[in-house]
Amino acid sequence: MARAIFEYTKTVLKKVSFNVELFCIELEKAVKRLLPYEIEELKIWLDNFTANRPELYKSLAIVK
């Protein structure tokens, strides 16, 4: 079940990445409901996902 939440979180973040505010809100929700090891995976995923999206860099502070 937990894995499904992680995959769902990535899907939601991809869909709201057009809006920095929404992205930050969804990222905060994700940090609250994911397990610690999933948050570490999410950090790695975020580094790759935001590599070409400089407007989303400030959202990385939420998970660091």
How far apart (Å, rounded) are the C-alpha atoms in residues 56 and 2? Answer: 25
pLDDT at 3: 86
Per-residue pLDDT tens digits for 8-41: 999 999 999 999 999 999 999 999 999 999 999 9
pTM to 2 decimal places: 0.91
Under a CB-based contact definition with an 8 Å cutoff, are residues 62 and 31 in contact? Answer: yes
Closest CA to 2 of 23, 26, 33: 33
